[in-house]
Chain A
Amino acid sequence: MKCSEFLQELTNYLDGVLDERTKSELEDHLAWCHNCYVVCDTTKKTIEIYRDSQLYELPEDLRTRLRSAIVSKCHQHKKTGPRSV
């Protein structure tokens, strides 16, 4: 397997959706190609860092405010029909 072929399969590999044969070819490649190993490892870390980052968490007070606004608009929609909201 060439590095470019490895790269094409990287997303499928990280997502665990490769068939056994391709997965094993890819892991053979990783065993000797340090660059691809680093790219694979740091891509995985990139995903994990973002997943754990808690960017843009919704603060509880804002959450409550938004929810009451939504609920009140839903009640209004029920009362007055679709065109009036």
Chain B
Amino acid sequence: MSTIQPRVGEPVSDELVLVQAAKRGDVAAFEELVRRYDRNVFRIAQHITQNREDAEDVVQDAFLKAFQNLEQFQGQSKFYTWLVRIAVNEALMKLRRRRPERTVSLDEEVKTEDDSLPREVADWSPNPEQQYSQAELREILTRTIQGLPPGFRTVFVLRDVEGLSTEETAEALDLSIPAVKSRLLRARLQLRERLSRFFQRRESGDGNK
């Protein structure tokens, strides 16, 4: 069985040049950085906040904060990792503001490790996503990932959707590497478990719903 290939490649080599120019106040250079990463920041923000308007605000606030604080970016990490850290913090603030009661949708968070153990081990159809229309698939995937606790969801999105490395994810979320790995495993297994309900191979002739 082959391994998973990351989605995001290495940063473009001129990135540091853009960052240096933006530090000197070159807004056009900063705009180029916005162009490179606005889609990523929007996706991350919407996954965390689960709200379109909040995600729009996060994109604006995160980039503005990045511009205002560029001096603090020392270039030890990638600009993108630094930006993601800002965006995640902005998104979490929005989420907390919208849901001040800490228990909202967090019932899974108090469960034990055992809840990540696979119970559903039926094989899936060869092309499970083709069993559904695009709109249905989107709905299934959205609802499934929204059911994860924010801490798991965020790690999964950064690692598996946005393609950050374990180290970059740890840095962006201010977590230890073992904590990232443990959350990632549990997030992956919980998503797998929940998707199995939709994607498992059907025995009889009702294979296409």
A and B held together in a complex: yes
The number of chain B residues with a CB under 8 A from chain A is 52
Contact residues, A31-85 vs B (CB, 8 A): 35, 38-51, 53, 55-58, 62-63, 66-67, 69-71, 73-75, 77-78, 82, 85
Of B24-32, B83-91, B101-109, the one with at least 4 CB within 8 A of chain A: B24-32
Write out, one digit per residue, whether chain A residues 1-43 have a CB within 8 A of any chain B CB (1) or not (0). 0000001101111111000000000010010000100111111
B20 contacts the other chain (CB 8 A): no
Residues from chain B with a CB closer than 8 A to the CB of A58 are 38-39, 42-43, 59
Contact B34 A55 (CB under 8 A): no
**How far in angstroms is the closest Cβ of chain B from A4?**
8
B188 at the interface (CB under 8 A from A): yes
Closest residue of chain B to A9 (Cβ to Cβ) is B185
| Chain A interface main SS type | helix
Q: Which of the 9-residue segments B11-19, B72-80, B92-100, B119-127 touches chain A?
A: B119-127
**29 A-B Cβ contacts within 8 A?**
A7-B185, A14-B4, A35-B118, A38-B121, A38-B122, A38-B123, A41-B123, A45-B199, A46-B191, A49-B128, A51-B4, A56-B42, A56-B43, A62-B56, A63-B39, A63-B42, A66-B60, A67-B31, A67-B35, A70-B31, A70-B60, A71-B27, A71-B30, A71-B31, A74-B31, A74-B67, A75-B27, A77-B68, A85-B68
List residues of A whose CB falls within 8 A of some B CB: 7-8, 10-16, 27, 30, 35, 38-51, 53, 55-58, 62-63, 66-67, 69-71, 73-75, 77-78, 82, 85
